């Protein structure tokens, strides 16, 4: 009886560790996509940054006819803000266990922008489905002051 319990326990541990590794792998994929984007941005290689996100995004693969226009428009948005300086994490939110959103403050020479990464998990793997950049109008004055003056 003890041997049976020991065998079941060992099998459970191996199975649980595989599930944990899979969950970590999925989490690391999200982090890898975002980190790679900011790596390109830091090098001022904006075209590669956008191209990386479009390559990773499952939705843009299906919208090939609109992809080129989106790429050009997004690149122009980045260039209009001046040189990229740095970024700060703003927040993250899970929506009903299948949608994950992460937001970052992009600090440019001329204007700050908010960058949103939207991931979708239909089964057991996270996929980048969308990303966008917008103005910081959503911030209240207290949040703006904290970000602007690092307080």
Residue 12 CB burial class (10 angstroms; 0-12, 13-18, ≥19): exposed
Q: What is the pLDDT of residue 24?
A: 43
- 3-state DSSP of the chain: CHHHHHHHHHHHHHHHHHHHHHHHHHHHHHHHHHHHHHHHHHCCCHHHHHHHHHHHEHHHHHCHHHHHHHHHHHHHHHHHCCCEEEEEEEEEEEECCCEEEEEEEEEECCCEEEEEEEEECCCCCCEEEEEEEECCCCCCHHHHHHHHHCC
User: In terms of Cα–Cα distance, which of 115, 116, 87 is closest to 99?
Assistant: 116
Instruction: Name residues of the chain where pLDDT drops below 50.
Output: 2-25, 141
- pTM for the predicted model, two decimal places: 0.67
Q: What is the pLDDT of residue 78?
A: 86
Q: What is the pLDDT of residue 145?
A: 55
Q: What is the pLDDT of residue 21?
A: 34
């Amino acid at each position: 009886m003890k041997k049976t319990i020991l065998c079941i326990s060992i099998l459970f541990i191996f199975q649980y560790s595989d599930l944990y590794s899979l969950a970590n792998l999925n989490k690391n994929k999200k982090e890898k996509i975002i980190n790679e984007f900011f790596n390109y941005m830091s090098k001022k290689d904006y075209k590669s940054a956008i191209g990386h996100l479009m390559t990773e995004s499952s939705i843009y693969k299906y919208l090939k006819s609109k992809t080129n226009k989106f790429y050009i428009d997004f690149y122009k948005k980045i260039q209009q803000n001046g040189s990229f300086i740095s970024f700060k994490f703003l927040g993250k939110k899970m929506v009903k266990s299948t949608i994950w959103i992460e937001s970052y403050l992009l600090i440019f020479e001329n204007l700050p922008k908010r960058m949103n990464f939207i991931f979708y998990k239909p089964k057991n793997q996270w996929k980048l489905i969308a990303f966008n950049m917008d103005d910081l109008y959503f911030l209240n004055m207290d949040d703006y002051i904290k970000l602007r003056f690092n307080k």
